[in-house]
Amino acid sequence: MRINGKPHKTIWLNEDGWSVDIIDQTRLPHQFIIANLKTVEDAAHAIKAMLVRGAPLIGATAAYGLCLAIRNDASNEAMEKASDYLNSQRPTAVNLRWALNVMRNHLLPLPEEKRLNAAYEKAALIVEEDIETNRMIGVHGLELIRQIAARKTPGETINVLTHCNAGWLATTEWGTATSPVYHAAKAGIPIHVWVDETRPRNQGASLTAYELGHENIPHTIIVDNAGGHLMQHGKVDLCIVGTDRTASNGDVCNKIGTYLKALAAHDNNIPFYVALPSTTIDWQLTSGFDIPIEERGPEEVLMMTGVKAGGGETENELITIEIAAKGSPAANPAFDVTPAKYVTGLITEKGVVKATTAGLANLKSELSNVA
Amino acid sequence: MRINGKPHKTIWLNEDGWSVDIIDQTRLPHQFIIANLKTVEDAAHAIKAMLVRGAPLIGATAAYGLCLAIRNDASNEAMEKASDYLNSQRPTAVNLRWALNVMRNHLLPLPEEKRLNAAYEKAALIVEEDIETNRMIGVHGLELIRQIAARKTPGETINVLTHCNAGWLATTEWGTATSPVYHAAKAGIPIHVWVDETRPRNQGASLTAYELGHENIPHTIIVDNAGGHLMQHGKVDLCIVGTDRTASNGDVCNKIGTYLKALAAHDNNIPFYVALPSTTIDWQLTSGFDIPIEERGPEEVLMMTGVKAGGGETENELITIEIAAKGSPAANPAFDVTPAKYVTGLITEKGVVKATTAGLANLKSELSNVA
């Protein structure tokens, strides 16, 4: 996708041929800064401190993090240690585990001296496959948008509501929840996105709005409280969100607040779709309520970072302010679980499937067939 | 209630005997500043710019605003003009209209020379009656909390979730939604409040947390997105919110996002109560969806005000920062409507009534009896 008109990825190999470059997403939207990862510790920090975030991008960063570890020590023991270390950085995202398993399964049978090159090749392949996966999510999601457009007056705008950032910044290209939007725009369908701010880290206002703006997609930022009201008043045609982990019964674990939007969509008969690469499905889990929910620090709730109001394009020094009553504690669960019954469908790279045990079992068999 | 251990009201007559003092709530929680209102324009500005907010306090401020207008001109024409002017400052709060009607009905029959003294007396009476109303809301709400406590292990904490600030800062004393909490604490019931941050103006994190802290009520600030998750996990025993206007069928218009919490409470079988003085009931309205919803400026969504992080108690200079992607527009509906079917009951000064046309009709007849 584009930033200031220039094509960009979210993760790529530095021109030195071995270190890894990422966009430091904690600085967006105010500063566009590329961070360089040279060690497995750098990669772990980028995941933990959310310089990279979003299930697919976390997976890709972990894969490259393992490459950086192997540069120092390609032994089984060192690889397992690095893998465990990377995996422990974010407890909820299943892609992290998935990507590390793909890497380990590929590398462990190889002799140590062949592992480094093979690791970089496999990490690059994970990125390439993610791009294709996200493209296909867009292709299938576009069909849903076309169906809604067909029921409206020709030329009427389709209003999509999304929560958090399941955009190209959360992946390597296209995004998951945003991929249908980008595909619809390219297909000439008039589309507008309601962007949930997504407290406490404001990934909607900071990242989704940023990437939609740079791709010239009409959008409007709203506070997380506003979506239900908009749905009551016919201003939302469909919701599309991402997911960090999906249970095999269709329960969806995603950014905190997703559940509230699903309830509102249900109450107003608005389709609520979850877009996901099949790698975010945790086949071993039969209920979303078994997913460990990451509790993050209270400072994310009690403080806010931005740039001084009224500054020009060049004044972009980040300032952190305290916004709450001094001395009041805060709790900060990072994810919630949306029960499958509130999910209209799962938009995967293989097509749209029902958020049911049967729907997912069908998908699984199709994945096995092509594997 | 107390601030730094000292009793305070939210509106009172200045020692000069005619101008009106209020707490400038736009500066809370970082600065405690008393603003002095000398003219009807001052009062209108205080309402519009939300130096005062909350249905009962807006009503009291409007009543005193009319006093300030009458000081200059006590003619019918001037009074009507001042009343219309004050009424136009916030479209949603019905108390504003109610308080102005009470004042006009009381003053218009009087000769002009008697109106000024009578106006100040009536405004003071509106404040006194509000205090008593809120006290009675607390008495009735306490009974609900006692019933929930009776079903728990003795000594177990009761967890209340509230949205926005329907606290004493929104009224003249006690608050509406917080009055049952304060009464429960005084009765020795262990109570803890989940305080919704309440974007975009953060009245929960700024005001509710502030007043609960000063009254030593255990509380935890959460982002608006988190309440559903807490309800799913049994961490909320009941919700109590306020309302800006209630329709005669029981639909409740309150701060944006209230509807989402009501949906989550319904989905998790958690009682969802609305605390209100009967003056916030709009008897002419048969549906909440006829209530005009105030659309406020986008800057409330795109910017945030606070104090520099890490500063001490004395460093409290307010800083406003931009928090969203530059150039992205925002929409800012200030209220939403919670359909009566999601409201367990209305806690009024006359007791707890069902949020139904019949329940409210009973209440109305009781109000007429005592009027």
Mean pLDDT, range A130-137, rounded to an integer: 97
- The token pair that represents A78 in the structure block: 């060192």
- The token pair that represents B162 in the structure block: 């509230």
Mean pLDDT, range B276-298, rounded to an integer: 94
Tell me the pLDDT band of B271, cut-offs 50, 70 and 90: very high
Q: Indicate which residue of B42, B196, B244, B251 is catalytic.
A: B244
Confirm or reject contact between B217 and chain A (CB < 8 A). Answer: no
- 8 Å CB contact of A308 and B327: no
Q: Is this prediction's ipTM beyond 0.90? A: yes
Residue B125: strand, helix, or coil? helix
Question: In this predicted model, what pLDDT tens digit does every residue of B5-31 receive, in sequence order?
Answer: 999 999 999 999 999 999 999 999 999
Tell me the pLDDT band of B253, cut-offs 50, 70 and 90: very high
pLDDT at A254 over 90: yes
Question: In this predicted model, what pLDDT tens digit does every residue of A164-217 receive, in sequence order?
Answer: 999 999 999 999 999 999 999 999 999 999 999 999 999 999 999 999 999 999
Interface of A with B in 299-338 (CB under 8 A): 301-309, 311, 313, 319-333, 335-337
- 8 Å CB contact of B324 and A206: yes
CATH topology of domain B2-128: Four Helix Bundle (Hemerythrin (Met), subunit A) (1.20.120)
Confirm or reject contact between A229 and chain B (CB < 8 A). Answer: yes
Q: How far is CA A121 from the centre of its chain?
A: 23
Residue of A nearest to B331 (CA): A222
Which residues of chain B does CATH 3.40.50.10470 include? 137-366
Q: What pLDDT is attached to residue A371?
A: 41
Q: What pLDDT is attached to residue B313?
A: 64
Interface of B with A in 143-202 (CB under 8 A): 194-195, 197-200, 202
Which residues of chain A does CATH 1.20.120.420 include? 2-128
pLDDT at B35 over 90: yes
Mean pLDDT, range B263-288, rounded to an integer: 96
CA distance B254 to chain A (A): 11
Q: What pLDDT is attached to residue A312?
A: 67
CB nearest B29 (choices: A194, A301, A325): A325
Q: What pLDDT is attached to residue B371?
A: 41
Q: What pLDDT is attached to residue A345?
A: 98
Question: Among residues of chain A, what percentage have pLDDT more than 90?
Answer: 93
- Residue bearing tokens 């096995």: A368
- 8 Å CB contact of B332 and A256: no
Mean pLDDT, range B64-68, rounded to an integer: 98
Mean pLDDT, range A137-151, rounded to an integer: 97
Q: CA-CA distance, A182 to A136, in Å (whole number)? A: 12
Strand-pair category, A351-353 with A345-348: antiparallel
List the one residue out of A201, A206, A205, A207 whose CA is nearest residue A220.
Answer: A205
Tell me the pLDDT band of A12, cut-offs 50, 70 and 90: very high
- The token pair that represents A260 in the structure block: 């509230």
Q: Indicate which residue of A42, A196, A237, A244 is catalytic.
A: A244
The CATH class, in words, for A137-366 is: alpha beta
Strand-pair category, B345-348 with B272-275: parallel
pLDDT at B309 over 90: no
pLDDT at A29 over 90: yes
pLDDT at B358 over 70: yes
Give yes or no: A237 in active site: no
CB nearest A199 (choices: B197, B229, B264): B197
Question: In this predicted model, what pLDDT tens digit does every residue of A64-110 receive, in sequence order?
Answer: 999 999 999 999 999 999 999 999 999 777 889 999 999 999 999 99
- Give the N- to C-terminal CA distance of chain B in Å, as an integer: 29
